[in-house]
Amino acid sequence: MAHLLEPYIPLYTGKTVLVTGGAGFIGSAVVRTLIEQTDAFVCVLDKFGQGSSTEALARVHGTGRLKIYVNDLTNTNTIKGLVCSVKPDIILHLAAESHVDRSIDDPKSFIESNVVGTFSILEAVRELMKLQQVRFHHVSTDEVFGSLDDDGTFDEDSVYNPRSPYSASKAASDHLVRAWGHTYKLPMTITNCSNNFGPHQDTEKLIPTVITRALNNQYIPLYGTGTNVRDWLYVDDHVNAILMVAAKGELGETYCVGANNERTNRALVEEICAILDQRFPERQPHNRLIQHVLDRQGHDYRYAIDSSKIKNALGWCPQGSFSGQLARTVDWYIVNNKK
């Protein structure tokens, strides 16, 4: 569970919060935190596509402070009416198609969800602004900035250079949010985060793929040479950042969120295998299951984020150690393993 810093909890007191993509990996973590740590009334808007899960919201059902709307954001007129009827004080926009591999195979669905969907929710916010005040927060990714060499980091001034259909669609959504903020004075903030991990993540993503395949004694695919580098951010730390920025961030501003947990893909997979060796010594070594496979098309080499702005402006920082967070994640998938 994410732990909000005390000064931010009262900012959600008595508020109605709408979370798009609230049944997804990060969105459901946001919803659980809001229900369990604040008295906010939470509305989830989700189409329940790939990556969405009713199980991820199961423990907060029955609280009387959660309402779920099943709809596709691309239904612009319907979404406009829904938002104006709910009248949220804060909108957290997390709904997105997010898997690079699927975007390469099916770019159209990413344009529809991430670009048209963002347009729809922005237009709904414009209508809501005629009725009341609202804050709109858009959750994005560091992949919009492209790829780094061995040195350097992304920050809020980094030039956009998306290199996959997924990152291009997210870059487009970022630009839409900023344009609506400038043209229509829409009260918006944006966060760009590094790779997330934690419980409830869909098994199409790297860390759940490695864990579940190893648990089921299946080969673990590793793209190319395994030297691509990512900065890994625990989902509860990301939730903390989202809720801080949404409630307290300066309107019109962007905040980059990372954890300084850079690992090559190979090192990450080996670390997961080492944890599984400890849990199931009779099956070790789990790294015998690693198999190099053909590299992803246009595979970005390295991502890394400078989080100085959000740390200095809002006091955010990641909690706990990467090794501890990774071990907790592995343990969750052991308990919840489905063959």
Which residues belong to the active site? 142-143, 166
Q: What is the DSSP string of 178-241?
A: HHHHHHH---EEEEEE-EEE-TT--TTSHHHHHHHHHHTT--EEEETTS--EEEEEEHHHHHHH
Alpha carbon distance 158, 171 (integer Å): 12
CB 303 within 8 A of CB 256: no
Tokens of 148: 């780094």
Compute how many other C-beta atoms are within 10 angstroms of the C-beta atom of residue 63.
11
Give every CB contact of residue 17 below 8 A, 6+ residues apart in sequence: 34, 40, 41, 42, 43, 88, 89, 90, 91, 92
Q: What is the DSSP letter of 74?
A: T
b/e code 105-143 from CB counts within 10 Å (16+ = b): eebebbbebbbbbbbbbbbbbbebeeeeebbbbbbbbbb
CA atoms within 13 A on the CB side of 149: 1
In whole angstroms, give the CA distance from residue 5 to residue 27.
Answer: 19
Task: Find out whether 91 and 137 touch, Cβ atoms under 8 Å.
Answer: yes
Q: Are 154 and 192 in contact (CB under 8 A)?
A: yes
Q: Which residues pair with 20 in a beta bridge?
A: 45, 93
